[in-house]
Structure 1
Amino acid sequence: MTPSPLPSPGTALRGTGALVTGGGSGIGLACARRLAADGADVTLCGRTESRLKEAAAEISATTGAAGVRYVVADVTDEEQVEAAVRAAAAPAPLRAVVHSAGGSTSIGPLPRLDTDAWRATLELNATGTMLVLKHASRPMARAGGGAFVAISSIAASNTHRWFGAYGVSKAAVDHLVRLGADELGPAGIRVNGIRPGLVRTELVGDLAEAGPILDDYLACMPLGRVGEPDDVAAAARFLAGPESSWITGQVVNVDGGHHLRRGPDYRSMFEPMFGADALGGAAPEEGST
């Protein structure tokens, strides 16, 4: 049987409602821009209205897309997630979600980790992904299917020492991708993920510019360069669109090949904060938390 021809760029996602969480900046913004450029009716979601408003205006100006919308929501708040999904499904059937919202407040050697920061990071990355998938899958199923793309991290597969809950929570995202793909496939919903490596965004700041940590990252990358948000957006667009209609349950590394080697060495950053003994596994003083 001869495959159907693929839609032309600019029209491939026409009539598709799309939700992008974390869409106000960085990887999320790049993904939203890419979806809008191919015709999707994009709704941005994030916690800061001013940033979302600027992002929506920028996407409209650069892509010519009309009516890029935004909704303020915290992905750890189920009622707000449900409202964001409802808003994204209003202009057109919701068939594409890129879940880019995430982060971490948990760092340091394991014997000294702050338990509240650990829980908050798991809540943001793991529970937040679950909530968005839970509520987005409902209108997707009613629409006959769709694609959910979760932005994970290379820290999910390669240990990043002293990153606390971050890598653990992203590993949970990777498993949720596989679980969601297995359960939701009969409804026509595809669930995939992306593990970015070091990407030049405001979250990494000067880290992507110079210094021993960057040097170590580059030494671990066969392609030897820092990633750009558009590198991740291109993969997200592919996984969200009709070109990947027989792909589900995959987590794609977009990292210059970094996953082939080892996690980066952050000793130069963390040793002044915690001390060499702590990074070597020394226990904290009795009575400390």
Structure 2
Amino acid sequence: MSSDGVSGTFTGRSILVTGGGSGIGLGIAQALVAEGAHVTICGRSADKLSTAAEKIAATGAFASGGSISTVAADVTDEADVARAVARAMETTGRLDGVVACAGGNETIAPITQLDADAWRRTVDLNVTGTMLTIKHGARALVAAGGGAIVAISSIAASNTHRWFGAYGVSKSGVDHLVQLAADELGASGVRVNGIRPGLTRTDLVAMITDGGPILDDYMACTPLARVGEVDDIAGLAKFLLGPESTWITGQVINVDGGQMLRRGPDFTSMLEQVYGADGLRGVVSE
């Protein structure tokens, strides 16, 4: 993505952030607005997006000349994604960057007890949703002469997370999609990279980051033994979208304090209460 020549700034650039209503997506959007970007955040809940926009405004981020817009959209609905891309182009008439952050998981369970419909919904959200975001975002970026896409994956794609069902599997699909898109779109000046966050402090994982045996296990498996912050992820996202990374594409980078060097977390203390020790090893009582 081109720049105005000032390292680290996005003045006048239009960027779409899916899943921007909370957590990592919100943090990335706020960081980009603070550097002058015109950011459009999308998500399923209009109320949540409105609250997110108010939070960004309250930080004083608009002093840089950036702005925030919202559009309610479901990334698994192709028409919604196309509409979100069009909304992101309204301010400047073009699109310069895309952050595909929308994702989730409905399948925390032993593999022998996974709900097939929940599996399909999770794969649809994480893989198909990312594909549709790249598909329509890339069309706009190619038309503008180039740009950058960043997809948010997970450490669960690189390190097995027992009992996470479709989550790690689908995030591995996101990683391959990043490489495929980077290979295809490079000829049009579009770069595509991914980020695999480790345990990152957001409301979604507060029950872990607030303390307890699962957090202790995370720390034992993390060389830089602390919980990640949204700013850790936003910093790399800005780099991959910005002028310092114009010869980087097709990469998926862990931001996890080094946990990828060891193993995924042990959720036994939480899930054994639900499924029992036998259930966690695959026993199903009829």
Q: TM-score under structure 2 normalisation?
A: 0.95
1:13 aligns with 2:14: no
The size of the alignment, in residue pairs, is 280
Instruction: Measure, in 1, the Cα distance between the counterparts of 2:177 and 2:66.
Output: 33
* 8 Å contact kept, 1:6–1:243: no
Instruction: Measure, in 2, the Cα distance between the counterparts of 1:144 and 1:254.
Output: 30
* 8 Å contact kept, 1:195–1:251: yes
Instruction: Measure, in 2, the Cα distance between the counterparts of 1:66 and 1:178.
Output: 30
Deviations 1:3-33 (A, max 9, x none): x995144xx2122110011111110011001
1:86 aligns with 2:86: yes
Give the structure 2 partner of residue 281 of structure 1: 282
1:41 aligns with 2:55: no
Q: Which amino acid aligns with 1:184?
A: L
* 8 Å contact kept, 2:196–2:255: yes
Question: Which runs of no fewer than 5 residues in structure 2 stay unpaired?
Answer: none
Instruction: Measure, in 1, the Cα distance between the counterparts of 2:25 and 2:51.
Output: 13
Give the structure 2 partner of residue 55 of structure 1: 52
- Match of 2:204, SS state, is coil
Give the structure 1 partner of residue 213 of structure 2: 212
Q: How does 1:184-199 map to 2 (within 5 A)?
A: 184-199=185-200
Q: Which amino acid aligns with 1:109?
A: P
Q: Which amino acid aligns with 1:26?
A: G
Instruction: Measure, in 2, the Cα distance between the counterparts of 1:94 and 1:46.
Output: 18
Give the structure 1 partner of residue 222 of structure 2: 221
Instruction: Measure, in 1, the Cα distance between the counterparts of 2:272 and 2:55.
Output: 40
Give the structure 1 partner of residue 173 of structure 2: 172
CA RMSD of aligned residues (A): 1.4
Question: Which runs of no fewer than 5 residues in structure 1 stay unpaired?
Answer: none
Q: How does 1:189-268 map to 2 (within 5 A)?
A: 189-268=190-269
Percent of aligned pairs sharing the same letter: 60
* 8 Å contact kept, 1:111–1:284: no
Deviations 1:225-245 (A, max 9, x none): 000111100010110111111
Instruction: Measure, in 1, the Cα distance between the counterparts of 2:267 and 2:70.
Output: 36
Instruction: Measure, in 1, the Cα distance between the counterparts of 2:101 and 2:4.
Output: 30
Runs of 4+ in 1 over 6 A off after TM superposition: none
1:149 aligns with 2:150: yes
Q: Which amino acid aligns with 1:200?
A: R
Deviation at 1:124, TM superposition (A): 0.4
* 8 Å contact kept, 1:22–1:44: yes
